[in-house]
């Protein structure tokens, strides 16, 4: 079976390629390398001993996108490609709407033309907005609080309309919580461009000496230690969740959303202390004021994915810290 992975050179995409290749799937990666490096694909081939067919293509380039469907028999698509910085999306919303939404529409239109109607979409817990109640289930109210989150929300609605117009589609909307960690080989991992926005890459860059100290955004939240609580999930568990979702979409039609989280909430300082404990590396930090838009607590109720996808997160916070550190310490400058 042959799977097209858009954004397959990225953090979650590359980890998903490893899982699929190890299971014997043919993998075709389409990536414009705007926020990733082709080296990650070489590393995935190294880990698995398998070849990847790679196309350096932008989803907005319909002519070359069609060529991929003409040249390959594609059974399903896992769609990761998209801009993903919350902060940047506030500054350049039109770029985010055009890139993420128009790109997805062109992809789905070409899929329909070539009768490929099995799709897994990389959504995000950000579609839940400022949650009132935790843990969060899939029927919690949806409301994005930034243009990036709105692209995810709008695309989910577009895909529902697409399914309602053609019931042959089979679509899984995977809502990720906070993916961290790396493959146990230390060969692939998170490689943010510039200063990391997210917590774990910031921690590992402080530990490896690239950054001076961590700024903890607020310790006056209504949580056990005052710092933000999140559902950190190992990126390999997340990748395995995509394989389980693929199994489902291949034998059914319909559209369903699934939370991919552990169901456990840990605070910023829980993560810092766990990282220091398992790696022996100090992470100096200072408490600064809250980051606008942050919520106090966000963690998943993963029972729907557990039951319907037969998927369970297996790796704990110590695994996530150890694996993230192995990647960062082996690759202080990422894939450069
Ligand atoms: C986690 C916690 C911060 C950095 C974001 C996106 C979401 C998804 C995952 C794409 C919060 C604190 C962070 C730092 C800190 N991405 N923090 N110092 O905001 O939960 O989710 O990434 O889908 O859409 O919103 O993740 O890692 O940025 O923050 O104190 O330097 O760490 O306040 O409590 P977040 P994060």
Q: What is the pLDDT of residues 106-152, one digit of tens each?
A: 999 999 999 999 999 999 999 999 888 999 999 999 999 999 999 99
Q: Whose CA is nearest to atom 4 of ligand 1?
A: 199
**SS3 category, 260:** strand
Ligand 1 mean position, distance from CA 63 (Å): 37
Query: For residues 83, 235, 184 and 17, what is the CA-based torsion angle, rounded to 10 degrees?
Result: -60
Q: What is the pLDDT of residues 8-57, one digit of tens each?
A: 999 999 999 999 999 999 999 999 999 999 999 999 999 999 999 999 99
pLDDT of residue 165: 98
- Radius of gyration over every alpha carbon of the chain, rounded to an integer in angstroms: 19
Ligand 1 mean position, distance from CA 269 (Å): 13
Q: What is the pLDDT of residues 180-212, one digit of tens each?
A: 999 999 999 999 999 999 999 999 999 999 999
- The pairing of strands 2-6 and 285-288 is unpaired
77 neighbors 120 (Cβ within 8 angstroms):
yes
Which member of 148, 221, 258, 266 is catalytic?
148
**SS3 category, 328:** helix
**SS3 category, 243:** helix
Ligand 1 binding pocket, CB closer than 6 Å: 84, 86, 124, 126, 176, 178, 197-199, 202, 214-217, 228, 230, 268, 291, 294
Q: Whose CA is nearest to atom 30 of ligand 1?
A: 216
Say whether 176 is catalytic.
Answer: no
What burial class does residue 308 get, using C-beta atoms within 10 Å of its C-beta: 0-12 exposed, 13-18 middle, 19+ buried?
Answer: middle
Instruction: Give the ligand 1 atom nearest the CA of 295.
Output: 34
Domains of the chain, start order: 2-182+232-263+301-314 (3.40.50.720)
Of 266, 275, 264, 268, nearest in space to 321 by CA: 275
């Amino acid at each position: 079976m042959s799977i097209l992975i858009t954004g397959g050179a990225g953090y979650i995409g590359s980890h998903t390629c490893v899982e699929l290749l190890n299971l014997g799937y043919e993998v075709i990666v389409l990536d414009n390398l705007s926020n990733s490096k082709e080296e990650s694909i070489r590393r995935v081939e190294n880990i698995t001993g398998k070849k990847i067919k790679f196309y350096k293509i932008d989803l907005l380039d319909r002519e070359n996108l069609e060529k991929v469907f003409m040249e390959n028999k594609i059974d399903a698509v896992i769609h990761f490609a998209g801009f993903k910085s919350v902060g940047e999306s506030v500054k350049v919303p039109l770029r985010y709407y055009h890139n993420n939404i128009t790109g997805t529409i062109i992809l789905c239109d070409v899929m329909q033309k070539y009768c490929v109607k099995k799709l897994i979409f990389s959504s995000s817990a950000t579609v839940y907005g400022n949650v009132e109640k935790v843990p969060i289930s899939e029927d919690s109210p949806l409301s994005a609080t930034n243009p990036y989150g709105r692209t995810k929300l709008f695309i989910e609605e577009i895909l529902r309309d697409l399914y309602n117009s053609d019931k042959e589609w089979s679509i899984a909307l995977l809502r990720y919580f906070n993916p961290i960690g790396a493959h146990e080989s230390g060969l692939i991992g998170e490689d943010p461009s510039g200063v990391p926005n997210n917590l774990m890459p910031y921690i590992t860059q402080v530990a490896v000496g690239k950054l001076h100290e961590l700024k903890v955004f607020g310790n006056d939240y209504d949580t056990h230690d005052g710092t933000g609580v999140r559902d950190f999930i190992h990126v390999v568990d997340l990748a395995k969740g995509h394989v389980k979702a693929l199994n489902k979409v291949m034998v059914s039609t319909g559209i369903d959303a699934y939370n991919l989280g552990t169901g456990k909430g840990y605070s910023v300082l829980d993560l810092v202390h766990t990282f220091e404990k398992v790696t022996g590396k100090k992470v100096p930090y200072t408490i600064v004021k809250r980051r606008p838009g942050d919520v106090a607590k966000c963690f998943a109720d993963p029972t729907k994915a557990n039951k319907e996808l037969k998927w369970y997160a297996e790796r704990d916070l110590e695994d996530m810290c150890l694996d993230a550190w192995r990647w960062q310490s082996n690759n202080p400058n990422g894939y450069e």
